[in-house]
């Protein structure tokens, strides 16, 4: 019998199953690895005794293709995939991507736009009586009225468009087991309105069985005034803490969306239980003749040690999806996984990463969070590190030392994000030495994102001076170790609040540090982030005061070109930008000039 979960009727029969309990439909190919949401949820259900089969990338134009694994006993679970399907399909310039890394062979066109909506509608057409539960990043971050950048329009809650019965937001292990047990016990899906970390629809808010809740500006309110979109974001963002968060409601087009309080964070024991399951850490064998699944190669020999992020960058929605409270696995669990990786036939001795959304976050940012929750009106690191911040890398250092001491492991890299501002707050200052000596090879990628204080304030990132201090400390440390290692900084162009003058300031900074980025990330307004709320509304989500937002493709192209001003293909755009900003002093033969006349 295959150790993979079944993806065909033949594999279901090989397990002697007469039927399945849950059908999981995914916009991604099946990769049985704990970096992939469908694998985690399906394995968790399996561990609790449920029969789960995966229907991956079904032909959405053929209704019958959705029935090929049979009708499940309890529910159909739907995820658009590890990425929002629109982000998977289109670039910041709204052009189709040439590769889909979550599809066998990297081919495109195997999932529809708005995959969660399309799949859910198809199931409701095929089996009107079967419960449909949507989850994953696409559903999670589109649960309220949201802006879709690629279609350039407001969209109602994905619950309204999809016709799904229930939505799981955030990381869904706790929710799915609780819901599964209720369904197996005979509960009606329309009565399961009390599970933390879920959202559902009501015909009217008078039907809500709750005395205390926060109401967001409605669909009509937001349509009338874009500022209400920013206000809605600000209100719901303050209720995402599992300890202090309240029920949140929003009137949509025809229904009222109700968001229950967030799920409680996983304990270390619960995290271990999730990551110790029987993952094969490979794509399904049926994909191998097609070239495998490219996304697996990026994480195959990486280890997730924690989840959650208290960095709260405005352009990122990870903290909205995984929460601000850090949840970590035990050393024993991580070492078990590392040993499994060393036994893989294609393992070459290198662990590619040990981390999470932010690698050096291994514990909650302060002691009080697990009891009192995260602060509603302040961040842990912005505008400066909180006085209560527990900046200590001791546990992470010990973990890395234990992993690299295992037989068969030559080197342990850290490739997920490092928060250098948090690193500098650690009074012991041991981590930088460990990092430079053992866990990078030639270069370290970090993400200051910008240097203009105006833009950094909108991003929620530390001042330029903090990055410069880290640059000096990094150079000094490597010089002392005799290692020729370098920083590779990442920056974002065209972020809300970034004027042409801000973009020029960034170009001058790149000139001064003698760095020309090979790749440039143009800001993409993805659902669920503070920056997207600013992009659509044109106001700061904290003050509700107007800000400049580069929206025209030509304006965005100029800001992007300035970051690569030495590229001959960008000469015209850079010259136009400098002339438009009145910065012709940067055109000529002088040492400080960006381009020649």
Q: What is the mean pLDDT of residues 563-572?
A: 96
The pLDDT value given to residue 468: 97
Q: How far apart are CA 321 and CA 341, in angstroms?
A: 28
The pLDDT value given to residue 210: 86
* CB-CB contact of 42 with 5 (8 Å): yes
Q: At which residue do the structure tokens 């438009």 appear?
A: 580
* CB-CB contact of 189 with 131 (8 Å): yes
Would you say residue 2 has pLDDT above 90?
A: no
Report, at the CATH architecture level, how domain 9-198 is classified. 3-Layer(aba) Sandwich (3.40)
Q: Which two tokens stand for residue 418?
A: 């490092």
pLDDT in tens, 244-285: 999 999 999 999 999 999 999 999 999 999 999 999 999 999
Averaged pLDDT score across all residues of the chain: 96
Percent of the chain past pLDDT 70, that is, above it, reads 100
Q: How far apart are CA 571 and CA 460, in angstroms?
A: 31
Would you say residue 475 has pLDDT above 80?
A: yes
Asked, colleague to colleague, whether 9-198 and 445-597 share their fold, the answer is no
Other C-beta atoms lying within 10 Å of the C-beta of residue 434: 17
Report, at the CATH architecture level, how domain 445-597 is classified. 2-Layer Sandwich (3.30)
Higher pLDDT, 320 or 216: 216
Would you say residue 1 has pLDDT above 50?
A: no
The pLDDT value given to residue 477: 96
Distance between start and end Cα atoms, the chain: 70
pLDDT in tens, 156-211: 999 999 999 999 999 999 999 999 999 999 999 999 999 999 999 999 998 888 88
Order of strands, edge to edge, in the sheet holding 256-259?
52-56, 22-26, 75-79, 132-135, 166-168, 198-202, 256-259, 247-251, 213-215
Core vs surface per residue 114-146: b (16+ CB within 10 A) or e: bbbbbbbbbbbeebeebbbbbbbbbbbbbbbbb
Would you say residue 416 has pLDDT above 70?
A: yes
For the chain, give every domain's residue range. 9-198, 301-441, 445-597
Sign, CA dihedral 311-317-320-325, equals: negative
φ, ψ (nearest 5 deg) of residue 443:
-150, 155
**Confidence at 392, pLDDT banded by 50, 70, 90:** very high
Report the top-level CATH class of 301-441: alpha beta
Would you say residue 514 has pLDDT above 80?
A: yes
CA 522 to mean position of chain CA atoms = 17
- DSSP letter for each residue of 117-173: HHHHHHHHHH-TTS-EEEEHHHHHHTSSSEEETTTTEEE--HHHHH--SEEE-SS-H
* CB-CB contact of 507 with 450 (8 Å): no
**Confidence at 520, pLDDT banded by 50, 70, 90:** confident
């Amino acid at each position: 019998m295959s150790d993979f979960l079944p993806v065909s009727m033949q594999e279901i029969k090989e397990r002697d199953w007469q039927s399945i309990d849950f059908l999981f439909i995914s916009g991604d190919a099946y990769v049985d690895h704990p970096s992939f949401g469908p694998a985690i949820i399906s394995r968790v259900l399996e561990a609790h005794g449920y029969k789960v089969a995966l229907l991956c990338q079904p032909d959405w134009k053929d209704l019958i293709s959705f029935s090929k694994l049979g009708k499940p006993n309890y529910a159909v679970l739907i995820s658009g995939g590890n990425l929002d399907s629109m982000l998977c399909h289109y670039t910041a310039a709204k052009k189709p991507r040439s590769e889909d890394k979550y599809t066998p062979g990297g081919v495109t066109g195997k999932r529809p736009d708005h995959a969660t909506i399309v799949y859910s509608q198809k199931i409701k057409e095929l089996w009107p009586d079967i419960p449909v539960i949507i989850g994953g990043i696409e559903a999670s971050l589109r649960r309220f009225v949201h802006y879709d950048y690629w279609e350039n329009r407001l969209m109602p809650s994905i619950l309204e468009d999809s016709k799904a019965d229930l939505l799981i937001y955030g990381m869904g292990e706790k929710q799915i087991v609780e819901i599964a047990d209720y369904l197996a016990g005979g509960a009606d899906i329309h009565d399961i309105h009390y599970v933390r970390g879920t959202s559902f629809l009501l015909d009217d808010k008078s039907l809500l069985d709750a005395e205390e809740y926060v109401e967001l500006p409605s669909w009509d309110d937001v349509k009338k005034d874009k500022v209400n979109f920013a206000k809605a974001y600000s209100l719901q963002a303050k209720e995402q803490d599992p300890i202090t968060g309240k029920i949140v409601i929003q009137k949509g087009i025809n229904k009222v969306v109700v968001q229950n309080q967030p799920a409680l964070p996983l304990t270390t024991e619960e995290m271990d239980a999730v990551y110790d399951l029987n993952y094969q850490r490979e794509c399904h064998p049926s994909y191998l003749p097609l070239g495998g699944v490219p996304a697996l190669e990026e994480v195959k020999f990486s280890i997730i040690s924690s989840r959650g992020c208290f960095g709260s960058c405005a352009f990122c929605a990870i903290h909205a999806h995984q929460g601000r409270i850090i949840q970590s696995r035990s050393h024993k669990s991580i070492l078990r996984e590392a040993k499994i990786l060393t036994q893989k036939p294609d393992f070459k001795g290198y662990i590619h990463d040990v981390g999470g959304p932010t690698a050096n976050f291994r514990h909650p940012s302060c002691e009080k969070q697990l009891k009192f929750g995260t602060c509603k009106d302040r961040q842990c690191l912005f505008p400066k590190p909180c006085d209560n911040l527990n900046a200590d890398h001791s546990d992470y250092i010990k973990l890395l030392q234990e992993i690299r001491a295992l037989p068969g492991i030559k080197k342990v890299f850290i490739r997920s994000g490092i928060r250098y501002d948090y690193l500098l707050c650690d009074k012991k200052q041991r981590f930088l030495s460990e990092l430079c000596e053992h866990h990078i090879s030639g270069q370290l990628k970090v993400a200051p994102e910008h240097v203009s204080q105006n833009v950094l304030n909108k991003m929620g990132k530390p001042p330029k001076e903090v990055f410069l201090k880290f640059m000096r400390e990094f150079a000094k440390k490597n010089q002392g170790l005799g290692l020729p290692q370098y920083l590779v900084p990442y920056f974002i162009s065209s972020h809300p609040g970034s004027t042409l003058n801000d973009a020029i300031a960034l170009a001058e900074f790149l000139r001064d540090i003698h760095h020309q980025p090979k790749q440039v990330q143009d800001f993409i307004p993805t659902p669920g982030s503070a920056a997207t709320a600013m992009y659509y509304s044109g106001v700061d989500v904290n003050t509700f005061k107007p800000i400049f937002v580069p929206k025209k493709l030509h304006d965005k192209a100029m800001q992007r070109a300035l970051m690569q001003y030495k590229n001959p293909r960008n000469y015209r755009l850079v010259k136009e930008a400098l002339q438009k900003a009145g910065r012709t002093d940067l055109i000529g033969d002088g040492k400080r000039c960006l381009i020649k006349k």
